[in-house]
């Protein structure tokens, strides 16, 4: 059976299993509101200037929405995810996470896998599962649940291995499985597929879309890959090297999308053109003036 949601056709099945059995997130909806977020990292060491990582970032996303953050290295993408997750605080402005229908959980796929090296893959996965499922009897159910997500990322046979015995790409896939396995209402993904080979990345991208389509989860997804952003997103936020949102671009294309769809190709070209324009403007702006403007100091 397929169900219409916002004009998109949802898939009702995932292989022989209904994806919702594993990924449904209980009707809870999150709303994220970032208001004029500024983040300044204090200088560390003598003579080093403070770093303005984010400078007036505002946007809203709620419920079943997929937002990609795209921008040059160092523009503050990871910092923004860290603020949403609560790992970092804002210097000015605010990020609010409100919830409808219950408590919203946050899943985070970090830029590096961040697995506990002394725990096996299974133990790393179980570590993040809800405490109420840890009683005797529920534990075996949790293991089954975890195995589903390990299978999903192609790592069904690694559960008793330690992270040090896996390749970098395999560790990253455990990180992805770990975040998905808590069925988050807000899913933060920091370049999750960038260290994977093209075929694995393509498979996981498709799988992610399929799983997400069956939820009300809000996804914030960081990528350098504009095609990936077009394939996955409802909206692309293009950030500039000053730590601001340069362009907010809705992607209003039917799903599922493939790299060869004419509209996907032309949307990618449009975004790349805006990206190039942004880069040109930032090259023309003297570094000194930019730093001063970011710090709220009048340029001389
Ligand atoms: N803990 C920190 N202390 C000091 N400076 C930091 C800290 N974390 C990030 N920064 C600085 O803030 C800026 C933004 O960093 P961030 O990691 O958010 O960039 P990014 O957009 O994720 O880059 P990349 O695409 O390379 O991952 C950079 O100049 C970085 O050096
Ligand atoms: Mg980063």
The count of domains in the chain is 2
Q: What angle do CA 121, 126, 132 make, to 5 degrees?
A: 180
To test the pocket of ligand 1, the residue of 37, 40, 69, 78 to mutate (highest count of ligand atoms within 8 Å of its CB) is 78
Q: Based on the domain organization, do 209 and 285 belong to the same domain?
A: yes
Q: What is the C-alpha to C-alpha distance for residues 281 and 235, in angstroms, rounded to an integer?
A: 23
Q: Based on the domain organization, do 267 and 254 belong to the same domain?
A: yes
* In contact, 60 and 2? CB cutoff 8 Å: no
Please tell me the predicted confidence (pLDDT) of residue 134.
58
To test the pocket of ligand 1, the residue of 41, 44, 69, 87 to mutate (highest count of ligand atoms within 8 Å of its CB) is 41
The answer to the question of residue 300 being in a domain is: no
Q: Based on the domain organization, do 38 and 90 belong to the same domain?
A: yes
Start-to-end CA span in the chain (Å) = 65
The answer to the question of residue 16 being in a domain is: yes
Tokens of 237: 């936020």
Tokens of 26: 């209980």
Please tell me the predicted confidence (pLDDT) of residue 21.
41
Residue of 222, 178, 235 lying closest to 62 (CA atoms) = 235
DSSP per residue, 112-177: S----TTS-HHHHHHHTS-GGG-STTHHHHHHHHHHHHHHHTT-GGGTTS-GGGS-HHHHHHHHHH
Q: Based on the domain organization, do 193 and 94 belong to the same domain?
A: yes
Q: Is the CB of 37 under 6 A from ligand 1?
A: no
* In contact, 241 and 282? CB cutoff 8 Å: yes
pLDDT in tens, the chain (300 residues): 222 323 332 323 332 233 444 445 667 789 999 999 999 998 766 667 889 999 999 999 999 999 999 999 999 999 999 999 999 999 999 999 988 877 788 999 998 889 999 999 999 999 998 876 555 668 888 999 999 999 988 899 999 999 999 998 899 999 999 998 988 999 999 999 998 899 988 888 988 888 888 788 999 999 999 999 999 999 999 999 999 999 999 999 999 899 999 999 999 999 999 999 999 998 887 665 555 555 555 444
Domain end position, chosen among 166, 182, 198: 182
Q: Based on the domain organization, do 72 and 200 belong to the same domain?
A: yes
Q: Based on the domain organization, do 117 and 145 belong to the same domain?
A: yes
Q: What is the C-alpha to C-alpha distance for residues 5 and 128, in angstroms, rounded to an integer?
A: 31
Please tell me the predicted confidence (pLDDT) of residue 233.
97
Q: Based on the domain organization, do 178 and 188 belong to the same domain?
A: no
Q: Based on the domain organization, do 23 and 165 belong to the same domain?
A: no
**For ligand 1, atom 16, which residue shows the shortest CA distance?**
76
Domain end position, chosen among 133, 151, 182: 182
**For ligand 1, atom 6, which residue shows the shortest CA distance?**
41
**For ligand 1, atom 4, which residue shows the shortest CA distance?**
41
């Amino acid at each position: 059976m397929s169900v219409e949601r916002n004009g998109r056709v949802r898939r009702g099945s995932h292989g022989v299993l209904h994806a919702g059995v594993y990924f449904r997130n209980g009707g809870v909806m999150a709303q994220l509101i970032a208001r004029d977020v500024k983040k300044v990292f204090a200088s560390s060491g003598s003579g080093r200037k403070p770093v303005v990582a984010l400078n007036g970032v505002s946007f809203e996303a709620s419920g079943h929405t997929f937002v990609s953050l795209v921008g040059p290295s160092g523009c503050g993408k990871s910092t923004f995810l860290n603020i949403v997750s609560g790992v970092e605080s804002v210097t000015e402005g605010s990020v609010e996470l409100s919830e409808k229908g219950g408590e919203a959980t946050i899943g985070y796929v970090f830029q590096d896998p961040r697995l506990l090296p002394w725990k096996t893959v299974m133990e790393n996965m179980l570590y993040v599962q809800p405490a109420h499922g840890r009683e005797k009897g529920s534990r075996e159910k949790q293991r089954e649940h975890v195995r589903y997500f390990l299978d999903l990322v192609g790592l069904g046979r690694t559960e008793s291995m330690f992270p040090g015995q896996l390749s970098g790409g395999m560790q990253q896939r455990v990180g992805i499985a770990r975040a998905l396995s808590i069925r988050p209402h807000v899913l933060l993904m920091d370049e999750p597929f960038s260290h994977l080979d093209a075929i694995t990345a393509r498979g996981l991208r498709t799988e992610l879309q399929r799983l997400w389509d069956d939820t009300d989860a809000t996804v914030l997804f960081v990528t350098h890959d504009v095609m990936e952003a077009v394939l996955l997103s409802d909206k692309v936020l293009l950030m500039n090297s000053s730590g601001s949102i340069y362009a907010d671009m809705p992607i209003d294309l039917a799903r599922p999308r493939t790299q060869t769809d004419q509209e996907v190709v032309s949307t990618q070209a449009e975004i790349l053109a805006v990206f190039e324009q942004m880069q040109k403007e930032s090259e023309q702006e003297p570094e000194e003036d930019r730093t001063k403007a970011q710090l709220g100091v009048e340029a001389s």
